[in-house]
C-alpha cells in the first residue's frame, strides 16, 4: 500500500508540473497576443490617426519595457527565460516593421531615432527621480512598491537604443534590397518573416557580447539568450505574417515604391528638404490634376452626380465586397414622370434646369447611409446602398422622396400631377459569387416599371 501511494504521489506531481508548464506557455502566448493586438488594430486606422497611434504605442512600449523587465519573466525551459522587457522589445520591432511598410518612407528611421533618444532620456531621468523619492520616503507608498524597480542604467538604455536602431536599420536595408529582386509576394512575405527572426536573434548575440565582453561566462549566457530570442522572434513573426496577409495591398504598394537609405545618410539636410518639398508640391499638383480628370470622367457635367461609368465601377466593387462580407446590397432607381412631355412643353433649356433641381434633391436622399448617387440615363437616377435591405431603407426613402413634392416644380404637361414627380423602384439582394450586379439592376428596373404601370409617382419594391 505505501508503495502504491508513492506511485500515485509521483504521478500527481508530474501532472501538476505539466499543468504548470502549460500554464506558463499559455500566459506567454497571451502576452504575445496582447502586445500584437494593438499594432494590428492601429493598422486599420486612417493615415494620420495611424501614425499618431503607432508612435504613441512605440513610446509606451519603450517606457514600460524597462519596468516589465524587472517585474516578471517566463521560464520557458531550464535555462531559457524571457522577461516582460523582452516581449516589449519584440513588440517594438514588429510594430516598427508594420509602420515602415505602411508609410513606405525611409525617413521612418529618423523619426524612430528621435523617439528612442527622447524616450530613453525620459525613462532615465524619470525613473531615477521616482527611485530617489521612494528611497527617501518623500511620498506615501501604500503598496510598498520596491524602489529598485526604477533603478535604471543610462549605459544599458543607450546600448539597448543603439542596438534597436542598428537592427531596424538592417531590417530596412534588407527589406528594400529584397523587394527589388523578388516579384512573388508570397515568397517575399516568407523571406521578410525569416529576416525578422534572424535580426531578433542577432540581438541575442550582440547584447551580451557588448554588455559583458569576451569572457568564459559569455558562451552559456549567449546560448541561453539566443534560445530565448529565437522563441521571441518566432512568436512575433506570427502576428507579423498575419499583418502581411491581411494587408497585401499595402505590401504591394511598399514593393512598388522606390526607396534608398542613402538619401537619409548622405544627402545634405537642406538639399534633402528642398527635394522633398519639390516632390511634395509636384505630388500635390499631380493629385489635383488627377482629381480634375476623375471628376471629368466620373461625374455628370450637367448635374454633378456620378455618371454611368462611376456607377458601374462602384457597383462592381461594392458587389465584390458584399460577397466577401456576406452583406446585402440595395439599389434605388428613380425616373422623372413624363419628362419627354416636360421637354416638349417647356423646352430643352428648362428641361436641363429641371434635371439640375431634381439632381440637387437626389443628392440628399438617404444621406446617412453608405451610398452612391448617380445619373445613369437622361431622366433616370440611381442610389446604390451598402449593407442595407429595401425594408430597412424604405421608411427613410419615403420621407426623403416627399422633398421632391416640396420643391413643387411645375409640370403642366403631366397626366399624373401638376408638379414634377418621380416613379421609384427598389430592389435588394444578398450577393453570391455566381451572380453579378446586373441581376440586382434588372430587379430594380422591374420594380420601377411596376411603379409606372401602377400609376406613377410612387415607390415599388422587389427582392
What is the DSSP track for 312-362? HHHHHHHHHHHHHHT--EEEEEEEETTHHHHHHHH-HHHHHHHHHHHHHHH
Residue 268's pLDDT band (cuts 50, 70, 90): very low
| Mean pLDDT, rounded, of the chain | 86
Give the pLDDT mean for 97-111. Answer: 90
In degrees rounded to 5, what are phi and psi of residue 422? Answer: -135, 145
**Per-residue model confidence (pLDDT) at position 137:** 83
**Per-residue model confidence (pLDDT) at position 11:** 41
Give the pLDDT mean for 156-182. Answer: 89
Residue 440's pLDDT band (cuts 50, 70, 90): very high
**Per-residue model confidence (pLDDT) at position 257:** 87
Q: Using CB atoms within 10 A of its CB, is residue 98 exposed (0-12), middle (13-18) or buried (19+)?
A: buried
CB 218 within 8 A of CB 181: no
pLDDT surpassing 60 at residue 18: no
Q: Lowest mean pLDDT of 291-300, 412-421, 439-448, 454-463, name the range.
A: 291-300
What are the structural domains, with CATH classification, of the chain? 2-265 (no CATH), 308-462 (3.30.70.270)
**Per-residue model confidence (pLDDT) at position 260:** 76
Distance between the two ends of the chain, CA-based, in angstroms?
77
Give the pLDDT mean for 157-164. Answer: 86
408's CB contacts (< 8 A; 6+ apart) are 419
pTM of the model: 0.54
Give the pLDDT mean for 185-210. Answer: 88
Distance of CA 213 to the CA centre of its chain: 43
Higher per-residue confidence, 208 vs 392: 392
**Per-residue model confidence (pLDDT) at position 214:** 65
Give the pLDDT mean for 112-129. Answer: 89
**Per-residue model confidence (pLDDT) at position 413:** 95
pLDDT surpassing 80 at residue 222: no
Model pLDDT for residues 51-102, shown as the tens digit of each residue: 999 999 999 998 888 788 778 888 888 788 888 889 999 999 999 999 999 9
Q: What proportion of the chain, given as a percentage, has pLDDT over 70?
A: 87
Give the pLDDT mean for 165-184. Answer: 90
Higher per-residue confidence, 294 vs 156: 156
**Per-residue model confidence (pLDDT) at position 356:** 96
Angle of helix 154-179 relative to helix 108-135, nearest 10 degrees, comes to: 160
**Per-residue model confidence (pLDDT) at position 127:** 87
Grid coordinates given for 287:
493629385
**Per-residue model confidence (pLDDT) at position 446:** 96
Amino acid at each position: 500500500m505505501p508503495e502504491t501511494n508513492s506511485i500515485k504521489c509521483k504521478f500527481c506531481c508530474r501532472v501538476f508540473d505539466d499543468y504548470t508548464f502549460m500554464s506558463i506557455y499559455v500566459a506567454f502566448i497571451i502576452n504575445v497576443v496582447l502586445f500584437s493586438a494593438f499594432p494590428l488594430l492601429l493598422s486599420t486606422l486612417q493615415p494620420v490617426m495611424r501614425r499618431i497611434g503607432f508612435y504613441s504605442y512605440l513610446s509606451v512600449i519603450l517606457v514600460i519595457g524597462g519596468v516589465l523587465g524587472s517585474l516578471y519573466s517566463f521560464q520557458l525551459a531550464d535555462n531559457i527565460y524571457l522577461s516582460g522587457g523582452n516581449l516589449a522589445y519584440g513588440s517594438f520591432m514588429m510594430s516598427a516593421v508594420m509602420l515602415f511598410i505602411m508609410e513606405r518612407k525611409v525617413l521612418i528611421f529618423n523619426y524612430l531615432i528621435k523617439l528612442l533618444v527622447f524616450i530613453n532620456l525620459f525613462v532615465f531621468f524619470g525613473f531615477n527621480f521616482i527611485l530617489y523619492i521612494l528611497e527617501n520616503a518623500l511620498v506615501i507608498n501604500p503598496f510598498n512598491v520596491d524602489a529598485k524597480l526604477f533603478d535604471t542604467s543610462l549605459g544599458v538604455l543607450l546600448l539597448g537604443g543603439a542596438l534597436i536602431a542598428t537592427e531596424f536599420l538592417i531590417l530596412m536595408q534588407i527589406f528594400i534590397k529584397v523587394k527589388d529582386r523578388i516579384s512573388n509576394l508570397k515568397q517575399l512575405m516568407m523571406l521578410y518573416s525569416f529576416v525578422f527572426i534572424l535580426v531578433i536573434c542577432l540581438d541575442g548575440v550582440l547584447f551580451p557580447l557588448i554588455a559583458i565582453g569576451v569572457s568564459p561566462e559569455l558562451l552559456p549566457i549567449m546560448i541561453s539568450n539566443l534560445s530565448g530570442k529565437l522563441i521571441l522572434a518566432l512568436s512575433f513573426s506570427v502576428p507579423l505574417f498575419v499583418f502581411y496577409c491581411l494587408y497585401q495591398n499595402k505590401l504591394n504598394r511598399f514593393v512598388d515604391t522606390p526607396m534608398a537609405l542613402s538619401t537619409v545618410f548622405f544627402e545634405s539636410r537642406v538639399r534633402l528638404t528642398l527635394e522633398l518639398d519639390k516632390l511634395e508640391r509636384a505630388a500635390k499638383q499631380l493629385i489635383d490634376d488627377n482629381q480634375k480628370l476623375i471628376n471629368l470622367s466620373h461625374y455628370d457635367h450637367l448635374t454633378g452626380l456620378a455618371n454611368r461609368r462611376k456607377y458601374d465601377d462602384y457597383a462592381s466593387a461594392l458587389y465584390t465586397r458584399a460577397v466577401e462580407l456576406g452583406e446585402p446590397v440595395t439599389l434605388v432607381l428613380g425616373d422623372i414622370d413624363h419628362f419627354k412631355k416636360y421637354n416638349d412643353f417647356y423646352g430643352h433649356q428648362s428641361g436641363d434646369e429641371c434635371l439640375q433641381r431634381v439632381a440637387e434633391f437626389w443628392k440628399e436622399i438617404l444621406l446617412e447611409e453608405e451610398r452612391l448617387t448617380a445619373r445613369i440615363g437622361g431622366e433616370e437616377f440611381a442610389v446604390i446602398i451598402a449593407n442595407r435591405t429595401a425594408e430597412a431603407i424604405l421608411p427613410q426613402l419615403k420621407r426623403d422622396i416627399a422633398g421632391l413634392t416640396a420643391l413643387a416644380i411645375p409640370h403642366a404637361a403631366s397626366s399624373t400631377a401638376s408638379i414634377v414627380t418621380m416613379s421609384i423602384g427598389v430592389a435588394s439582394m444578398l450577393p453570391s459569387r455566381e451572380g453579378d450586379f446586373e441581376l440586382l439592376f434588372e430587379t430594380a428596373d422591374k420594380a420601377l416599371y411596376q411603379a409606372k404601370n401602377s400609376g406613377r409617382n410612387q415607390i415599388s419594391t422587389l427582392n
